[in-house]
Structure 1
Amino acid sequence: MKRTLIATGVAAGLLALPGLSVAQGGGFVEDAKANLSLRNLYYDGDYKNATGAPSDREWGQGFMLRFNSGYTQGPVGLGLDVFARAGLRLDSGGKRGDADASRQPGTMFPLEDDNSAVSEFSQIDFAAKAKVSATEIKAGRGFEPALPILTRNDGRLLPQTYSGVMVTSNEIDNLTLRAGQFDEASSRSWSHYDGLRIAGGTERVNKFQYAGGDAQLGDNLVASYYFAKLKDYYKQHYLGAVHTLPLGEGKLVTDLRYFDSNSTGANRSGEAGYGAAGVFNNGEVDNQAMSALFTYHRSNHSLGLGYQAMRGDSNFAFVNNGDGATAYLITDSQIGKFERAGEKTWVGQYGYNFADYVPGLSFSAKYLRGSDIDTLGNTGDREWERDLRLDYKVQSGVLKDLGVSLRHASLRSDVARDEDQLRVYLTYNFVLL
């Protein structure tokens, strides 16, 4: 608990440092923002056919303090971002790897030396930033990228973060250009940073580079292109487009995505420790992922239908350190990702906002069915997943803005462990500045 108090106190103390006054810093403090987010999570994973992997049930409390300064005055504005976070274990059972136990630690907390869950963990990250005209440069730690070629995972108590350099430019109207390099990642259940890899690889590297941007083409179309490269693993091109079409009393949103991923460096030459998962060519990355999702919104309803196809000899390539990762796919869901070699997946989803009856209440359901999965000696494996979600945010009174999210999912698969999963989130956000 001592580390938790120190981390939170250091971040909060930035707001009172004597040198950071409005007179000296101009917009550094004037435009600063700070908030404290609370997240309470109960997680229950019930594994149906996994030998030696009993169910895990965990409960924890997370604290996330974010401070984002404004910029100093002058042609080059300078600033500082701070992200302090801490997690407390309220419940977790057994020891990882104990096949005789009825419960094991899951993926919410780091582990002690005896493979039991720690009682608490914390971390504080700093990032310096500079702004020239409409171009912003950030360098440091605590980044939470939300890009097609790299998206942080936020499915447990605390979010995954990255370290490196990010550049974002809006010098040209209707065009946002982005570039950067990341060297390490901190898992959603870690208090340290480590190198990067993909699923199937064991060697970690310290260079993920990317460049690209998003263009607003008229009022209803956004087109995107990005190139990314993870040293000694893969290089990847991404093309995407989101189009909105007024249709009847509603609107039709079309989301198109295409990834082309190929091997590079040690992965291409077949060096040990750099192989990809789901392959037939000595671990070499080879994947093309194509998808289309059509969603019709009308009044409080939304109805979506999508299709995704994987081609090539490997699974979809993305940064995956093996401790929780998110892929920018229409099939990335509560449990599975449906990203295996050869897999073809249909997606159906429905959402309803109860604003007319119970303001703050919403519901969504999603169903995925994948087929034609390629595994060694078999090309006909299947899987399906059903996700149900109910969200509510208190609209008034003492508990205003308290959020409750109930999420249940079921996965049945020929190539992964069957699982029923329940998550209950309680969230609240304090605006400090």
Structure 2
Amino acid sequence: MTVNNIAATFLLGGIALSTQAQADFLRDGKATLGLKNFYFNNDSREGAAKPSKTEEWAQGFMLDYKSGYTDGVFGFGVDALGLLGVTLDGGKGRSVGSTMIPVGSDDRPVSQWGRLGLTGKVKVSRTELRYGTLLPRLPVLVANDGRLLPQTFEGGQVVSRELANVTFNGGRIEHATGRGSTDRTGLAAVGGQRESNQFNFAGADWRVSRDLLAQYYYGHLEDYYSQQFFGLVHTLEFSNDQSLKTDLRYFRTESSGKNSSGAAGYRISGYTKEGDGEIDNRTWSAAFIYSIGSHGVTAGYQSVSDGSNFTQLNQGGLEGKGAGGASLYLYTDRLTQSFTRAGERTAFGQYAYDFTALGVPGLKASMMYLRGDNIKTVSGDRLKEWERDFSLDYVVQSGALKGVGLGWRNGKSHSQAARNQDQNRVFLSYSIALF
């Protein structure tokens, strides 16, 4: 039985229940329509790969419906997510499939694309089971939302809050759909060309005290890798508007199954110590965020071991699927680079400012700089790279345009391990509550 069939079964079951149950199911439901106009421009100034410049502009629509739960010990419900993208500009030679807009067989961007996701859900006490379309935000699995439409996954997830101050997460992911695609695929690690249909995960967030959060997560992608994550987040408040946040993260990733044996199609891309494509990595980072009034200053450091690159789910190597685009639970996952190459050591800093203090509520800006060195690649080592990112966001606070958001992202990177890039993203967004 497919994911959508299972979700439909949940829906039909809810319709067949009592009048009171249906009232809860419908009365507590919410629907919003999200609108996003997105312009993407990436200029790769060096290198022979084509194209050297990507330029795309599109309008997105996201209809998000979340039902309530039927009455009773077991509450049933169903969610629906409708996604539609309409191409405004991005001619042949200026669009790359899966960057944002899918391309057809003639290598031209399609005029429109979309997909529908259904999710059945069951709630018992403070535990919820969801099966269908998911957008996870976990240390071992993050759905990418850096373009017009989000990347989505299919599978099951359980979230339990039965114990005070502890949230348990667990489940299995079976398929993914790329941010610039309508094709459902299996799963893979970066560079992997063979699909796996089983990513199991489990973990917990423990609120030790009001100021301290401890995390542990485990993820296993069949025939690729096993990954453990340990995290500590502590906030020290000096006053009502002054605090120091410490964020410590550690990942241990080891090869599994066919990746361990070096089977063709299951090897990852990039440098590996023995040149066999086997995953073997330890990555840790420490970030310190000092906030005072409208100012925020971040300083941090990240270290990637030299067995292989840091690895998480990435379907970009699957031929002809348009499934590229992945997010990582790392401070260094930025606009153009992720600073996750074998051996890489990265220092980073950021300054952010909220203009409310100057009488412009809704306006925020930030600047971030990252510098990595000691990079190992298949063609050399002790390489370096840097990136500078700037972001500006404004949300209209009143009047007829209240709630309209405007954003600009600008990034520049220079790397001895990849192509130099200049990137701009400009977007306008608005969300309408339907009921």
Query: Under a length normalisation based on structure 1, what TM-score does the superposition of the two structures give?
Result: 0.92
Could you report, residue by residue, the CA deviation over 1:278-307 in whole angstroms, capped at 9, with x for unpaired residues?
A: 213211100000000000010000000000
Partner of 2:197: 206
Identify unmatched segments of 5+ residues in structure 1: 1-10, 96-102
Partner of 2:387: 385
1:224 is matched with which residue: 215, 218, 240? 215
Following TM superposition, by how much is the alpha carbon of 1:378 offset from its aligned partner in structure 2, in angstroms?
2.3
Following TM superposition, by how much is the alpha carbon of 1:19 offset from its aligned partner in structure 2, in angstroms?
6.6
Residue 277 of structure 2 corresponds to residue 280 of structure 1: no
Partner of 2:104: 112
Partner of 1:397: 399
- Pairwise mapping of residues 28-427 of structure 1 onto structure 2 (< 5 A)? 28-51=25-48, 52-95=50-93, 103-105=94-96, 107-141=99-133, 143-247=134-238, 250-277=242-269, 278-281=271-274, 282-322=276-316, 323-356=324-357, 357-427=359-429
Could you report, residue by residue, the CA deviation over 1:301-332 in whole angstroms, capped at 9, with x for unpaired residues?
A: 00000000001311101001111000101101
8 Å CA contact 2:80, 2:118 repeated in 1: yes
Aligned-partner Cα distance in 1 for 2:283–2:28: 42
Query: Displaced runs of 4+ in structure 1, greater than 4 A?
Result: 17-22
Aligned-partner Cα distance in 2 for 1:334–1:253: 24
Following TM superposition, by how much is the alpha carbon of 1:231 offset from its aligned partner in structure 2, in angstroms?
0.4
- Aligned with 1:355: secondary structure? helix
Aligned-partner Cα distance in 2 for 1:396–1:126: 35
Aligned-partner Cα distance in 2 for 1:77–1:244: 36
The one-letter amino acid paired with 2:349 is G
8 Å CA contact 1:268, 1:284 repeated in 2: yes
What count of residue pairs does the alignment treat as equivalent? 411
Following TM superposition, by how much is the alpha carbon of 1:370 offset from its aligned partner in structure 2, in angstroms?
0.5
8 Å CA contact 2:298, 2:350 repeated in 1: yes
Aligned-partner Cα distance in 2 for 1:419–1:389: 17
Deviation larger for 154-163 or 372-381: 372-381
Following TM superposition, by how much is the alpha carbon of 1:389 offset from its aligned partner in structure 2, in angstroms?
0.5
- Aligned with 1:35: secondary structure? strand
- Aligned with 2:184: secondary structure? coil
- Aligned with 2:232: secondary structure? strand
Could you report, residue by residue, the CA deviation over 1:122-167 in whole angstroms, capped at 9, with x for unpaired residues?
A: 11110100011111000112x1100000000011110000000000
The one-letter amino acid paired with 2:374 is D
Partner of 1:99: none
Please provide the CA RMSD for this pair. Answer: 1.6
Following TM superposition, by how much is the alpha carbon of 1:23 offset from its aligned partner in structure 2, in angstroms?
3.2
Could you report, residue by residue, the CA deviation over 1:183-221 in whole angstroms, capped at 9, with x for unpaired residues?
A: 110100111310010112111110000011100011100
Partner of 2:319: none
Aligned-partner Cα distance in 2 for 1:326–1:345: 18
Aligned-partner Cα distance in 2 for 1:425–1:115: 25
Could you report, residue by residue, the CA deviation over 1:350-394 in whole angstroms, capped at 9, with x for unpaired residues?
A: 100001221110001110001000113522111100000010000
2:432 is matched with which residue: 425, 430, 433? 430
Aligned-partner Cα distance in 2 for 1:377–1:124: 43
Could you report, residue by residue, the CA deviation over 1:17-45 in whole angstroms, capped at 9, with x for unpaired residues?
A: 98799634242112211100000001111
Aligned-partner Cα distance in 1 for 2:119–2:42: 35
The one-letter amino acid paired with 1:213 is A
- Identity rate of aligned residues, in percent? 43
The one-letter amino acid paired with 2:290 is Y
Aligned-partner Cα distance in 2 for 1:351–1:27: 43
- Aligned with 1:217: secondary structure? strand
Deviation larger for 276-285 or 132-141: 276-285
Is the alpha carbon distance of 1:41 and 1:75 closer, same or farther for their aligned partners in structure 2, counting shifts above 3 Å?
same
Aligned-partner Cα distance in 2 for 1:187–1:225: 27
Aligned-partner Cα distance in 2 for 1:104–1:415: 24
The one-letter amino acid paired with 1:346 is A
8 Å CA contact 1:22, 1:29 repeated in 2: no
Following TM superposition, by how much is the alpha carbon of 1:334 offset from its aligned partner in structure 2, in angstroms?
1.1
Following TM superposition, by how much is the alpha carbon of 1:104 offset from its aligned partner in structure 2, in angstroms?
4.0
The one-letter amino acid paired with 1:366 is M
- Aligned with 2:128: secondary structure? strand
Aligned-partner Cα distance in 2 for 1:242–1:386: 26
Aligned-partner Cα distance in 1 for 2:399–2:170: 44
Is the alpha carbon distance of 1:351 and 1:20 closer, same or farther for their aligned partners in structure 2, counting shifts above 3 Å?
farther
- Aligned with 2:20: secondary structure? helix
Query: Under a length normalisation based on structure 2, what TM-score does the superposition of the two structures give?
Result: 0.92
Is the alpha carbon distance of 1:21 and 1:347 closer, same or farther for their aligned partners in structure 2, counting shifts above 3 Å?
farther
8 Å CA contact 1:294, 1:304 repeated in 2: yes
Is the alpha carbon distance of 1:50 and 1:251 closer, same or farther for their aligned partners in structure 2, counting shifts above 3 Å?
same
Following TM superposition, by how much is the alpha carbon of 1:88 offset from its aligned partner in structure 2, in angstroms?
0.2
8 Å CA contact 2:186, 2:195 repeated in 1: yes
Aligned-partner Cα distance in 2 for 1:72–1:136: 13
